[in-house]
């Protein structure tokens, strides 16, 4: 698979991933366990995509936010 996540997109995903994990576990904002685990899973997915720079959804729709070289 080719890289399809650009630098700005990567930074936003990393920030959102950390924020979702914080909301899920550290803030106490989510008391319902289902929503806590949904937020945690979304945070992990965001951080994973930011780390590997490959978004499967972007690949499916043909979107690329990184510069082509």
- Residue 46's contacts (CB-CB under 8 Å, 6 or more residues apart) are 13, 14, 16, 17, 20
* pLDDT tens digits, 25-41: 887 777 778 888 999 99
Q: Model pTM?
A: 0.86
Mapping DSSP to helix (H, G, I), strand (E, B) and coil, where does residue 8 land?
Answer: helix
* pLDDT tens digits, 41-56: 999 999 999 999 999 9
């Amino acid at each position: 698979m080719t890289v399809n996540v650009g630098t700005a997109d990567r930074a936003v995903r990393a920030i959102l991933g950390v924020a979702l994990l914080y909301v899920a576990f550290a803030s106490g904002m989510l008391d319902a366990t289902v929503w806590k685990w949904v937020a945690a899973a979304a945070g992990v997915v965001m951080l994973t995509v930011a780390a590997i720079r490959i978004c499967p959804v972007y690949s499916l729709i043909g979107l690329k936010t990184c510069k082509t070289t």
